[in-house]
Structure 1
Amino acid sequence: MEFVERVVADGVAAVAGLSTALGVRLGRYSAMAGAGHLTSVQLAGRIGLNERYVRERLSGHVSGEYVQYGEDSDTYLLPDAHAAVLADPDSPSYAVGTSRSLGAFHGKEDAPAEAFRTAERVGWQDYGTGLFEGTATLCRLGHAAALVSE
């Protein structure tokens, strides 16, 4: 049962990663960063998205402790420490690159499966731009620091 729980947790983490990548792409975290408490209606208006979908995703982010929910005011808050990780590309803790890369792999398992049969390689170009963008995002600050100091 312990192993079942681990496999399920890994799957849930992968879905959360994809949701995070989608949140970055749609501007959800940038719109919440520094904005204080927002209702789902206010956030949907800021980013031009369907309120029901925004509310459903926010609920998922509350359960994952990405955002906080104000029960008395029916509002959502992205804490500053979380905004540094999710919405500030200049923050040393900005960590959305891994989530962005994940999306590139989903739906592409046929190519590596075939490579195991044929020994043909699967190149980065086979995964689309998400892999490049995610890796660049993940490595950007480290590379910039090394280029300047070294």
Structure 2
Amino acid sequence: MKKIVLLAVVLIFYSCTTYTIPVESFKAQFSKFDTIQKRERVISNPLTYGNLKYMTNNILMINVIDKNNNPLTIRNSPSLEMRITKKNGKKNVFYFDTVTLENDTLKGSQSRFLPNLKKEIPFDHIFKIEIQEGGKKYSYEN
């Protein structure tokens, strides 16, 4: 039994690949998109039988860097999470598909279930940006 639990823990940590986006690269990539043209999306809700409806950014792909410093392009998805480390060391987590960059302020949602749990961070306060597939069973319905 202990071996099964250990194997499960190893698989969970191994499967969660984290990518980085240099801060200036993030800004350059997001400045190409019109953040005003958000889109309403519906995702499956793995906790209930209903669906969740919310506004998303219009980004399909994002350029990232893997742990070996190789550039990659990954697809935006409802389970993609973004971790921001601020210059003061504090961290915030957002769902990537809700993030926008408006007037040098990063805005995004931190919860699927509490739609008013949104956060704004002045872009010049950001030290590091990481992206990770959260492993949640969300999928777009539309």
Q: Same fold (TM over 0.5)?
A: no
Specify the structure having the higher radius of gyration (Cα): 1
Which of structures 1 and 2 has the larger relative contact order (alpha carbons within 8 angstroms, sep 6+)?
Answer: 2
TM-score by length of 2: 0.28
Between Structure 1 and Structure 2, which shows a larger proportion of helix residues? 1
Between Structure 1 and Structure 2, which shows a larger proportion of strand residues? 2
